[in-house]
Structure 1
Amino acid sequence: MIIVTGGAGFIGSNIVQGLNARGIDDILVVDDLSDGHKCLNLNDADIADYMDKDDFLARIRAGQDFGRVEAIFHEGACSSTTEWDGRFVMQVNYEYSKAVLDWCAPTRVPLIYASSASVYGMGPTFREAREFERPLNMYAYSKFQFDCHLRRHMHALEGQVAGLRYFNVYGPREQHKGSMASVAWHFYNQLETAGRVRLFEGSDGYGPGEQQRDFIHVDDVVAVNLWLFDNPQVSGIFNVGTGRAQSFNDVAHAAIGWHGAGGIDYIPFPDHLKGRYQSFTQADMGTLRAAGFEHRFTPVEEGVPRYLDWLKDRGL
């Protein structure tokens, strides 16, 4: 069996799809379906069972045997960067992740978990080292603390543990995320309703829409996860981006080109984001490449149209 926490969410459901594509369906999905819309991410997937996240936590803390578990992909978390209830975020993200690690460690079950590029704060260096980590919100802090927890215990762990610092992920099955969905999703909806997309005016020395992020298609994220699954000898904390920063204008032009018409409206930069907005991110991919990962990453010029085709085909 393979366990995917957050398996009804964005990245988790795509990992389930990636496993299904390999003919693997002995999958236990763990999630919180308080928002029942997330079930739509699994309506074309084949899984063995579903379990609520609180039930799963209680069972692993009790040391329950789930039979032979090949790996846990731990994607479940509170992913809202605007959530400031620190007790809640630390319980759901940090304490939960520690419990999963404590369950995996004695039996050497491989654990591949979601960290975040948000641990780097404002950057400008995005390399997996403590001196470059300055989280600016509770979500980022919770991810940062678990990475630190892993570093303190890595020497004693005999099974695989890999933390993946996702950069700006976009692609299928994110429609439930609302305001936290990718700009590609928002551009798709803006073009469908108004024929134009909205971007921030210049900030931090960047011109209108020229702020840059490392945008990575979720298919590439799945490829990294499955490569680690195939290579259980590889452990560590790894950036997961393309290694190339592209502007929001690049994403907008890719969406407009797919739509066949449209324009860009630049709106004032919000005061509440000043000093807390990543105007530039670019993953240093040296660590993952050195570990042996050779996959080609998808530029937005290819990834965005492919994603928007998927949305259109499903009437979303």
Structure 2
Amino acid sequence: DADFLMENNYRYSLRLAEYALKNEHRFIYASSAATYGKGENGFKDEHSILDDLRPLNAYGYSKHLFDIWLARQKVLDKVIGLKYFNVFGPNEYHKGRMASMVYHIFNTIQKEGWIGLFKSSEPEKYKDGDQVRDFIYVKDAVRMTCNMLDKAFKDVTGIYNVGRGETVTWNKIAEAVFHALDKKVDIRYIDMPKDLEGQYQNFTLADMSKYATVQGHKLQTAPIEESIREYVQEYLIPGKRW
């Protein structure tokens, strides 16, 4: 629903930003790795490449428009934008189809006993299931976000990536969920729905050098297998919300 996305991700964010800037409040907002599109221009959070980015879908476009608006208004030095990569973890249950791969894989395995992953749309680059993304556990994403509220970061502004700076294949994500459930791995490859063709990122990798420089040391994030195991065993299986 492009109209919904434009109202919530662009116009509503614009109104919040105008209020915060007018009243000199610190403004931190959520952008998205979806703004990078296929990654033809890389995944660096540099303001100089904003005009060159080409999102693949309406969601990414709505997020990108707000980044561009801030740049045009010359206020990126007064706000913080966080480009979240593939976040997964507790309390995404309301997101429906837009919930993480981990969440959907868990539910499908519990119901069917197997999982279907989309076939590669670029078989010359990626085998089926070997498409890769930068997945980050929500607890790490929250910690990185809250860092920006610390007094040590009070002068930090601009756009920053929020990811692990590492890629993981879809196959590895699915295998980790099977292992967390103590079930035999059963992965099958299915055709991508027509409405998603041309809108799916086969590769994402957050360049975290800018964030690491601001933080002053190398980023510490939990291993992906451990994060998935915790999410599955401590939240999804018992139905725990927090």
Same topology, TM > 0.5: yes
Distance 1:141 1:269, change over 3 A: closer
- 1:127 equivalent in structure 2: 44
Structure 1 residue runs without a partner (length 5+): 1-82
Matches within 5 A, 1:1-316: 83-85=1-3, 88-124=4-40, 125-128=42-45, 129-130=49-50, 132-154=52-74, 160-205=78-123, 206-230=126-150, 231-262=153-184, 263-292=186-215, 294=217, 295-309=219-233, 310-314=235-239
Distance 1:134 1:179, change over 3 A: same
Shift of 1:307: 0.6
- What is the alpha-carbon distance in structure 2 between the residues aligned to residue 271 and residue 91 of structure 1? 25
Shift of 1:204: 0.8
Can you list the C-alpha shifts for 1:64-111, whole angstroms capped at 9, x where unaligned?
Answer: xxxxxxxxxxxxxxxxxxx233xx432222121111111111332111
Q: Secondary structure at the match of 2:215?
A: coil
Shift of 1:137: 2.2
Partners of 1:120 and 1:134 within 8 A in 2:
yes
Q: Provide the aligned C-alpha RMSD in A.
A: 1.9
Amino acid corresponding to residue 252 of structure 1 in structure 2: A
Amino acid corresponding to residue 229 of structure 1 in structure 2: L
Instruction: Tell me whether 138-147 or 111-120 shows the greater mean CA deviation.
Output: 138-147
Amino acid corresponding to residue 120 of structure 1 in structure 2: Y
Structure 2 residue runs without a partner (length 5+): none
Number of aligned residue pairs: 230
Partners of 1:216 and 1:299 within 8 A in 2:
no
- What is the alpha-carbon distance in structure 1 between the residues aligned to residue 122 and residue 81 of structure 2? 30
Q: Secondary structure at the match of 2:35?
A: helix
Amino acid corresponding to residue 44 of structure 2 in structure 1: R
Distance 1:193 1:91, change over 3 A: closer
Can you list the C-alpha shifts for 1:157-207, whole angstroms capped at 9, x where unaligned?
Answer: 6xx511011111100001111111111111111121122111112321311
- What is the alpha-carbon distance in structure 2 between the residues aligned to residue 156 and residue 150 of structure 1? 6
Partners of 2:76 and 2:158 within 8 A in 1:
no
Shift of 1:208: 1.4
Q: Percent identity?
A: 39
Q: TM-score, with normalisation over the residues of structure 2?
A: 0.88
